[in-house]
C-alpha cells in the first residue's frame, strides 16, 4: 500500500467550538425534553459563549483592530468567527421568543413585562423597586468630573440619553446605571397576584419601568441595557511572583476589567448610543450584538430552578452504588480483592466520599493525599480532610489555584485546609495540576499499604451527577506506588522516577500516545488488524492529529467520540473513510476519556484526565492509567465506546466541510432509534 503524505489542512478550532454550541442549542429545540430542561440548555449555550469570548476572542479582536496578526488569527478569521457567533445568538433568541416562552406560558410559567402587568401587579413591583432596588441604584451622569465609569466584565448596565438640564443647569445628556449583582435577576410574584400561574418579573424589567424616576426633572429620551464581555484568561507570571495565591487574588480583581471583546445591547438600542459604547470600549462594529430579549440569557437559569412542575423537568435519575462494591463492607478489604470501577453518573460518586470517610475515621490510616482542581460548592470533602488533620493524620492537598474561573473557590479551599494544619502545595511552576488522584496510606501487617482513587473527572459531587466519567478505586501496588511518586514529585519537585503503570504529562503521555498510533500504523502496513477508539472532550493537538491521519492512511480503522472541538479533517487525502468522528450531545455532559488500541493480537486501554490538546500534553500535570483486568476492559469498551458508536439519536457526525449532522437525519441505517445515555440510565436503574 502506498502511503499518501500530503499536507493536512486543519479545521478551525474556534469555529469547531461554536459548532459544538450549535449542537447544544439543538437540545433547546428537542421536543422530547421537558420545557424547563430545554431552557437550561439555552442558558448553557449563553454561559458557554461567555467563556468562549472571555478566553478565545481577544487575539481575533486585536487582529481586527489592526494590531499584531498571527498565521491563523487575522481579519478573515475574526469575520468568520463573528459571523458564526452572530448566527448562533440570533438563533438562540428566536428559540427563546418563538418557541420556549410561548410554550411555557401555555403551561402557566410566564415572564410578565411591564405592559402585561395588572394594576395590582404594577403596585407590587413598584413597592419592591422602592424597598429593594432603588436604594442600590446610583446613576452616574457623564461630564468632565464624572467620566465613563468602570464597567465590570459581564455586569448588566443601562445607558440613558437624557433631555433637559441637570440641577446645575448643564446639558450633560448621558448617564450610566449599573444593575447591582447582589439582587436576584428574577423575582417570583406572590400567589395572590398570580392565581394558578407561576409569574416572574425580571430585575431589568423592574428597573426599566421605573427608570424615569431616577432622573427627576429630566426627560428620558432613549435607553438600552448593555453588557460588555472582557478578556478574562487570568495570566500570572509564576517565575516573577513570590506568593502565587496573593498574586492570583489581585489578578481576580483585575480580571473584571480586562480588554473588552464583546458588547451586547437591546435590539432597539439607539444607533448613537451603540456607537458611543463601541467607541468607549474600543470595539469594532462586528463586536456589537443586538439581542431580542434579556441581554444575559444565562441568568434565566434561575427560571428553570424556581419554576415548579414535575412535567417541566427531567425525572430525577438516582445513581446506584458500584456493582463491584458490597455495601457495608470495608473498602480496604474489598480493594484487596479487586479494582472497583465507578461509571458516573450511572454509579454514585458517594462511594468516593464514603471511601474518604472510612480513611478519615480508620485509626490505621496515617496519610491522605489528594489533588483538588474543581470541587464545587459541596463542602463534605473539605470537611473530611480537615477532620483527618484533627485526628492526627498527615494530609497533603495539591490545590490548583489556576483552575480557570475556579481560582477564588480553590484559594478558599487552600486557606481553609491550611488553617487546620494540612500541608497545601500549589503544584509545579508553569504547569496546571489537572490529574485526579486520592491516595491513602494505611498501616498494616508487613508495613504501609496504599489505596488509591483515580478519575477522569473532578472531585465535584454536583457535576458527578451531570457528567459522565469513569474512576477507579484500587490497591494495585504498582499504580498506587506510582501515585505516591507523583505526589512526591509535585510537592518537592524531585526528579520523577521511572513509573510502572501511570503515564504522566508533560513527560511521557504525549510520546506514548504517538507511539501507540505508530504501532497501529505499522500493524496495518503489515496486514495485521489495527483498531483505535478514542473518547474525549477535544482533539486539537496537531502532532496527534497528524499521527491519526497517518495511521488512517495506512489502513487503521479509527473512531473518535469527541464532545467538543476537533481540528481533524476527515476528508484528508488518502483516508477513504477510515477515520470517523462523532459527538454525543444529550442530557448528560460527556466527560470521560478512554483510549483504546487493538494492535494485532494485543489490546490495551487507558483512562485519563487529559484531552488530546497541546495544553493537556505539554502544560499540565495529567495522568493516564491502564485498565489491566480484562473484564473491566470489556465493560468500559462496551459502556463507554460501543454504545456510543451505536447511538443514532444523540450522535452528530462530522462532515467533510467541518459541519456536524445528526445521525438520525442522515439515516445511515434502518436500525431502531438508540440513545447511549438513555440505554445506560435504564440499565443502571434496573
Where in the sequence numbering do the catalytic residues fall?
434
Please spell the DSSP secondary structure of 178-189, one letter per residue.
EPPTTS-SEEEP
Q: How far is CA 664 from CA 385, 586, 639, 675, in A?
A: 48, 14, 21, 11
Burial grade of 259 (CB within 10 A; 0-12, 13-18, 19 or more): middle
Beta bridge partners of 533: 559, 596
* Helix segments in 4-157, DSSP class H: 13-26, 35-56, 58-64, 75-95, 101-106, 119-128
Beta bridge partners of 157: 178, 226
Please spell the DSSP secondary structure of 407-429, one letter per residue.
HHHHHHHHHHHHHTT-EEE---T
Give the relative orientation of helices 244-255 and 407-419 as an angle to the nearest 10 degrees: 150
**Backbone dihedral angles phi then psi of residue 358, each to the nearest 5 degrees:** -60, -40
CA angle centred on 552, ends 573 and 571, rounded to 5°: 35
192 grid coordinates: 395572590
How far does Cα 227 stand from its chain's mean position? Answer: 22
640 grid coordinates: 463507554
Q: What is the CA radius of gyration of the chain?
A: 27
d(CA 341, CA 325): 9
d(CA 106, CA 108): 5
Please spell the DSSP secondary structure of 593-641, one letter per residue.
-EEEEEETTEEEEEEES--BSHHHHHSEEEEEEE--SHHHHHHHIIIII
d(CA 311, CA 294): 25
CA angle centred on 298, ends 17 and 137, rounded to 5°: 135
Interacting residues of 439 by C-beta distance below 8 A, sequence separation 6+: 367, 368, 369, 370, 450, 451, 452, 453, 480, 483, 484, 487
Amino acid at each position: 500500500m502506498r502511503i499518501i503524505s500530503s499536507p493536512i489542512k486543519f479545521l478551525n478550532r474556534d469555529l469547531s467550538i461554536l459548532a459544538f454550541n450549535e449542537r447544544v442549542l439543538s437540545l433547546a429545540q428537542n421536543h422530547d425534553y421537558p420545557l424547563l430542561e430545554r431552557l437550561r440548555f439555552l442558558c448553557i449555550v449563553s454561559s458557554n459563549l461567555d467563556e468562549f469570548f472571555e478566553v478565545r476572542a481577544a487575539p481575533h479582536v486585536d487582529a481586527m483592530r489592526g494590531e499584531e496578526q498571527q498565521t491563523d488569527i487575522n481579519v478573515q478569521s475574526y469575520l468568520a468567527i463573528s459571523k458564526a457567533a452572530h448566527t448562533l445568538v440570533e438563533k438562540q433568541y428566536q428559540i427563546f421568543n418563538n418557541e420556549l416562552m410561548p410554550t411555557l406560558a401555555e403551561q402557566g410559567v410566564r415572564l410578565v413585562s411591564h405592559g402585561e402587568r395588572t394594576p395590582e401587579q404594577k403596585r407590587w413591583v413598584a413597592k419592591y423597586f422602592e424597598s429593594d432596588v432603588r436604594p442600590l441604584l446610583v446613576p452616574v451622569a457623564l461630564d468632565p468630573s464624572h467620566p465613563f465609569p468602570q464597567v465590570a466584565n459581564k455586569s448588566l448596565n443601562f445607558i440613558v440619553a437624557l433631555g433637559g438640564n441637570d440641577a446645575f443647569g448643564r446639558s450633560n445628556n448621558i448617564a450610566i446605571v449599573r444593575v447591582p449583582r447582589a439582587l436576584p435577576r428574577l423575582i417570583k410574584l406572590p400567589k395572590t397576584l398570580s392565581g394558578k400561574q407561576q409569574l416572574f418579573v425580571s430585575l431589568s424589567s423592574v428597573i426599566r419601568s421605573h427608570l424615569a424616576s431616577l432622573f427627576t426633572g429630566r426627560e428620558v429620551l432613549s435607553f438600552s441595557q448593555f453588557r460588555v464581555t472582557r478578556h478574562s484568561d487570568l495570566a500570572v507570571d509564576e517565575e516573577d511572583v513570590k506568593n502565587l495565591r496573593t498574586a492570583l487574588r489581585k489578578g481576580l480583581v483585575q480580571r473584571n476589567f480586562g480588554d473588552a471583546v464583546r458588547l451586547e445591547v437591546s435590539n432597539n438600542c439607539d444607533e448613537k448610543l451603540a456607537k458611543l459604547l463601541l467607541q468607549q470600549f474600543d470595539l469594532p462594529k462586528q463586536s456589537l450584538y443586538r439581542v431580542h430579549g434579556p441581554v444575559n440569557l444565562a441568568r434565566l437559569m434561575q427560571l428553570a430552578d424556581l419554576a415548579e412542575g414535575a412535567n417541566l423537568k427531567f425525572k430525577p435519575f438516582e445513581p446506584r452504588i458500584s456493582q463491584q462494591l458490597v455495601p457495608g463492607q470495608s473498602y480496604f478489604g474489598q480493594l484487596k480483592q479487586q479494582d472497583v470501577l465507578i461509571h458516573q453518573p450511572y454509579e454514585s460518586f458517594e462511594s468516593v466520599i464514603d471511601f474518604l470517610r472510612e480513611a478519615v475515621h480508620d485509626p490505621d490510616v496515617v496519610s491522605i493525599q489528594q489533588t483538588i482542581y474543581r470541587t464545587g460548592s459541596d463542602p463534605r470533602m473539605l470537611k473530611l480532610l480537615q477532620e483527618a488533620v484533627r485526628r492526627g493524620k498527615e494530609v497533603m492537598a495539591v490545590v490548583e489555584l489556576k483552575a480557570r474561573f475556579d481560582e477564588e473557590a480553590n484559594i478558599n479551599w487552600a486557606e481553609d485546609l491550611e488553617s487546620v494544619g494540612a500541608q497545601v502545595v500549589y503544584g509545579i511552576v508553569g504547569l496546571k495540576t489537572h490529574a485526579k488522584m486520592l491516595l491513602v496510606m494505611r498501616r498494616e501487617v508487613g508495613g504501609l499499604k496504599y489505596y488509591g482513587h483515580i478519575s477522569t473527572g473532578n472531585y465535584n459531587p454536583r457535576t458527578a451527577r451531570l457528567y459522565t466519567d469513569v474512576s477507579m478505586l484500587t490497591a494495585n501496588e504498582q499504580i498506587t506506588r506510582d501515585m505516591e511518586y507523583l505526589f512526591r514529585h509535585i510537592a518537592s519537585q524531585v526528579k520523577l522516577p521511572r513509573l510502572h503503570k501511570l503515564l504522566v504529562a508533560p513527560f511521557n503521555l504525549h510520546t506514548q500516545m504517538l507511539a501507540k498510533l505508530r504501532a497501529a500504523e505499522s500493524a496495518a502496513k503489515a496486514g495485521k488488524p489495527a483498531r483505535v477508539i478514542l473518547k474525549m472532550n477535544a482533539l486539537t493537538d496537531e502532532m496527534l492529529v497528524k499521527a491519526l491521519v497517518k495511521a488512517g492512511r495506512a489502513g487503521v480503522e479509527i473512531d473518535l467520540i469527541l464532545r467538543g472541538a476537533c481540528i481533524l479533517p476527515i476528508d484528508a487525502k488518502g483516508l477513504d473513510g477510515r477515520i470517523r468522528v462523532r459527538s454525543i450531545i444529550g442530557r448528560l455532559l460527556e466527560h470521560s476519556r478512554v483510549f483504546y488500541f487493538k494492535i494485532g493480537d494485543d489490546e490495551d486501554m487507558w483512562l485519563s484526565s487529559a484531552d488530546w490538546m497541546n495544553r493537556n500534553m505539554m502544560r499540565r500535570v495529567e495522568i493516564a492509567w491502564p485498565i489491566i483486568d480484562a473484564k473491566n476492559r470489556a465493560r468500559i469498551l462496551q459502556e463507554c465506546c460501543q454504545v456510543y458508536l451505536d447511538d443514532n439519536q444523540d450522535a452528530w457526525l462530522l462532515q467533510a466541510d467541518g459541519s456536524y449532522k445528526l445521525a438520525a437525519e442522515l439515516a445511515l441505517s434502518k436500525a431502531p432509534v438508540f440513545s447511549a445515555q438513555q440505554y445506560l440510565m435504564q440499565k443502571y436503574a434496573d
